[in-house]
Structure 1
Amino acid sequence: MFPGPDPGHHRLPATRIRSHPTPDLTRTLPVGVRALTGRNSTGTTPPIPVAAPRLDATGITADVRVINSGHLVQGPEVAAFEDEFPHLVDGRHCVAVNSGTSASWLTLLALGIGPGDEVVVASFTFAATAGAVRLTGAAVVFSGHLWPGPRRRTRRDHPRTAAVIPVHLFGRPAAMGNLTALVQQQQLALVADATQAHGAAAIRP
């Protein structure tokens, strides 16, 4: 057992504990970067946003309509989204879920992928891409390229490989090239992770 507190222990008086102002870290930044940060009306340096949400009056009206309907999950708005979204992405069906992770995970489960399988995943991606694979019990095989190529990874040499996940990241479609033909030749599943690229399209010359 650990001994209890020493009754003779002296605590610092409350007046000795003081808060210190946040240091101005912009002084340590290069001049060019410092100019980009700027200052707001209060004189403090605003944070650099990772992503700036774009919500216009139409979006706000739609959000209020959902809240007023009492259906924060499912309901007519979700059904309408599932009907309309395929037209945006030239798809055949749409099933709304709570996140991109769930979408990838459920897709892999629907393909029968699980323990004992390997899934090739692009190494430059968000963590959830590999996380969805691990949720199925399958192993993740990271690839520095979208696809290592049939000579480097074939069903004969790697019989556990069951699927390939190319990632369309930051609104930019992945360079698919002849990936579709390769996975068909190797009889693998192709699961595109387009969580960050809804509606994006590759421009062909």
Structure 2
Amino acid sequence: MKKIVIIDYGLGNLRSVLKGLEYAGANVVISSDPAEIKSADGVILPGVGAFKDAMKNIAGLLDTINEYVDSGKPMLGICLGQQILMSKSEEGGHTPGLDLIKGEVQRFPHSDLKVPHMGWNSISINSKHPFFEGIPDGSFVYFVHSYFVDTGEKNTLISCDYGTDFAASVVNNAGNVIGTQFHPEKSGDMGLKMLENFVAMC
């Protein structure tokens, strides 16, 4: 059974992610222990809250995360977990991120649309990736966020439109680090299928 570690850095909806992964057939551990993270078959970087707080809380694990990513094993960042994969965020005054994927986190521009972007929205599949195997174009997934990721075309797996077109899912150049701005664990059958795909990738 694949061992997947959910990194506990004090910000994240850990239980619902854990339940989704267990449903997908994984042995799931919630931990901030570097040895546990390095020995995992897959790692989840969850996150709910502010970018600056996330980077402060995770500072002690930067070397561990970089070493894990360099091993080529898969890592999934969810919501704020996707955002901190990026180079920087304008939230909190241009805070540096993990810089695993080139790009910037920006606030939604002022419009008639409510911010945060909350609820179900459809996604457009830009590129094929094992994480989205069996997911139809136009599927609906669940979002809760006030900031979005702006990255290059080659690093955008999925896009979504909410007044502006943004990267709903990103990938690094090597293909082993994925992020989703939406919550797979709250996105019904489609989200569970994605988590199953992630377990299969491990």
Q: Under a length normalisation based on structure 1, what TM-score does the superposition of the two structures give?
A: 0.32
**The structure with more strand, counted as a fraction of residues:** 2
Q: Under a length normalisation based on structure 2, what TM-score does the superposition of the two structures give?
A: 0.32
Greater Rg by CA: 1
